[in-house]
Amino acid sequence: MSPTFAVRCARLLWVAAFVALVGAWITDLFGPLLGLSSAHLFADATVLALLSLGMFADAWWHRQGT
């Protein structure tokens, strides 16, 4: 996987984490969103953010090797 592709995937995951975080906030205010609780959405946001950071680190690591 090229570093450029990894960065694009990481950015996509970062946006998904942000959307999940906003969804969790909305769920706290108005109740379940699409049948998902706020705890579930906060957990999703955490996992997506960690995956994104891992992909950014992987892209940085492989870019240093070239």
Q: For tokens 């108005």, what's the residue? A: 30
Model's pTM, two decimal places? 0.80
For 22-44, write each residue's pLDDT tens digit: 999 999 898 887 888 889 989 99
Q: Which of the four pLDDT bands, split at 50, 70 and 90, describes residue 5?
A: confident
Asked whether 48 and 23 are in contact (CB, 8 A), the reply is no
For 6-26, write each residue's pLDDT tens digit: 888 889 989 999 999 999 999
What is the C-alpha separation between 50 and 52, in angstroms, rounded? 5
